[in-house]
Amino acid sequence: MRTRRDGAVLTVTLDRPDRLNAQTPATWSALAEIGASLDDDVRVVVLTGEGRSFSAGLDRSMFDPASSTGGGFGELVGMPVEDAQERIRAYQAGFRWLRSPGIVSVAAVQGHAIGAGAQLALACDLRVFADDAQLRLPEVTLGLVPDLTGTSTLVELVGYSRALEMCLTGRAVGAAEAQAIGLASLVVPDAELEAAVADLVQALLAPPVAASRATAALVRSAVRNDFPTQDAAERAAQVRRLHDLVRGR
């Protein structure tokens, strides 16, 4: 995995193109470490995959029942239940930080985003799809469940019924459908993906940082707050902004 810092923008690139950027526990540990190391000057995180796919999901070595090392399923089954759940909680930490206060995360998705790859794209605030992109959550067809924060973010984006159908069938969602149902913020030809993401990043950086972060926090809280609670949050945030503007912040 590679990172590149350009001012307020951090780009994180999955760099196993020969394996279609298949993920392992080492991937999730590296992601969690990146999240833990963020400084306050980072405003936008761009997540990309090198090569022809964003991420084709779990590395096949994870499915080897004889494997007892490297965080595969064999190792998890051999643990006490509480320890196995704690291990998965650590894996989830590699995904959850992408919704951290203070940053906006953008996934640039081309080719396949399958299973863990789909959940990594879903973990971001925004997704830009190349027109060849397909997103799938096939865990149930393997006798498993999505466990890398994917269910909550999927329901948040597309609603209960559509999320249930996608998870229980494991079918592929193409780029056009993804945009229609709210999974993709934008769909562009594959050759234009990098430029489209760069344009979006510049638009995200344009507003004053304090106002941008306060607005993002309000939008995030609106997903779960009832109307009176969200109205109160808006009032409080606006008064803070007015005071800061008067003080020149």
Calculate what percentage of the chain has a pLDDT beyond 90.
91
Residue with tokens 């503007």: 245
User: Which one of 33, 75, 86, 139 is the catalytic residue?
Assistant: 139
Residue 143, both tokens: 């006798």
Under 8 Å between Cβ of 204 and 185: no
H or E segment and range at residue 6: strand 2-6
66: three-class secondary structure by DSSP? coil
Distance CA 34, CA 173 (A): 29
Residue 139 annotated in active site: yes
Nearest-angstrom CA–CA distance, 57 and 137: 9
Domain with CATH 3.90.226.10 in the chain: 2-205
Kind of pairing between the strands at 126-130 and 186-188: parallel
- Read off the pLDDT of residues 22-63 as tens digits, 9 standing for 90 and up: 999 999 999 999 999 999 999 999 999 999 999 999 998 887
| Neighbouring C-beta atoms of residue 151, cutoff 10 Å | 18
Percent of the chain with pLDDT over 70: 97
CB under 8 Å to 239, separation ≥6 — which residues? none
Homologous superfamily (CATH) for 2-205: 2-enoyl-CoA Hydratase; Chain A, domain 1 (3.90.226.10)
* pTM exceeding 0.85: yes
217 residue type, one letter: A
CATH for the stretch 209-246: 1.10.12
Do the bridges between strand 186-188 and strand 134-136 make them parallel or antiparallel, or are there none, so unpaired?
Answer: unpaired
For 66-90, the pLDDT digits (tens) are 654 466 788 888 899 999 999 999 9
Residue type present at position 48:
T
Domain with CATH 1.10.12 in the chain: 209-246
